Amino acid sequence: MSKLVTIYGGSGFVGRYVTQRMARAGWRVRVAVRRPNEAHFVKPYGVVGQVEPVFCNIRDDDSVRQVMGGSDAVINCVGILEESGKNTFEALQHEGAARIARIATEQGVGRLVQVSAIGADPESDSDYARTKGLGEQAVLDAFPSAVILRPSIVFGPEDEFFNRFAAMARMSPVVPLFGADTRFQPVYVDDVAHAAELAATGQAAPGIYELGGPDVDTFRELIQQMLQVVRRRRLVLGLPFWVGRAMGRVFGAIRAVTLGLAPAPVTVDQVKQLARDNVVSEGAKGLDDLGIRPTSLEAVLPSYLWMYRPSGQYATLKESARNLRS
């Protein structure tokens, strides 16, 4: 019988690519999610019965334990960019990661992979980064042979970074940025999934790997590159951090009053994160150590941002026609 992997958050942005890779590698895949009825799209990633979404609440020991039963490997892809109700940074990224690692040890799971983030630091003033760091510590305490993956900003068709700013550029003549000079090293989502596959199948040594793409650019440079892809001219306006913090407090208050119904364009915690470079540390193990050649932004962005162009899918045809006439 083929081996079994349980992937917590296996239908999320990164998780779905990990699920695809583990299925293609011949593993049976149990996709542990909060809403399995909304995760049926993962089933065709394998043959009939190979990939199954199941309910799991990682805030609960019994729920985590039940879906982990019989697993040869466990991959935790759960992470959030913004808190909502009981799904806080602390509950999911620290306590949830700790719970998965502890129960994996109890059940004798062979391998554990934790998807974290560059900038994870138990001493950070950002709740996101702090809980990511505390989660890493808890995982290594309970499961010392775990592999921890720390990606920079992850890009791909379903990302919440380039899609968000491309949608903004479609509606607004100005793209405001907090931390315009902060540096990032975007990494392709399938490269992250490849790293997780290697770790789960025993082809990566235990330890921490920081995952970044081939290029380092400032926030402003990334947005300018995106604007070139979507064929739009917009003013990229760098704003001071104090403005971002003030806006974050105001939007946070509005969201609290409306019980979460009013979305917050920016939070105070996100502004704190934007104040720090998000690049691979000098001397850190990374994609090269895993034998993975990082994929560039230029190779992927046009494949999914075309929908934000003024003429959408017909933009290239119109450009070709103009060239013929000239």
In a domain, 46, yes or no: yes
Examine residue 315 and state whether it is found in any structural domain, yes or no. no
Rounded Cα distance, 44 and 1, in Å: 20
Check residue 85 and give its pLDDT. 85
Long-range contacts (CB closer than 8 Å, 24 or more residues apart) made by 305-314: 305/162, 305/163, 305/166, 305/226, 305/229, 305/230, 306/229, 306/230, 308/166, 308/167, 308/169, 308/170, 308/230, 308/232, 309/230, 309/231, 309/232, 310/231, 310/232
At 274, which helix (H) or strand (E)?
A: helix 268-274
260 domain residue, yes or no? no
Strand partners, 177: 238
Structural domain boundaries, residue 62: 4-154+186-212+279-294
Query: Residue 263 and residue 255: Cα distance in Å, rounded?
Result: 7
User: Is position 84 within any domain?
Assistant: yes
290 in any annotated domain: yes
Q: Are strands 154-155 and 217-218 parallel, antiparallel or unpaired?
A: unpaired
Q: Give how many domains the chain has, as a whole number.
A: 1
Domain annotation covers residue 200: yes
The parts of the chain modelled with pLDDT lower than 50 are: none
Task: Provide the whole-model pTM.
Answer: 0.92
The number of residues in the chain equals 326
Residue 257: inside a domain, yes or no?
no
**Residue 167 lies inside a defined structural domain of this protein:** no
The CATH number given to whatever domain includes residue 51 is 3.40.50.720
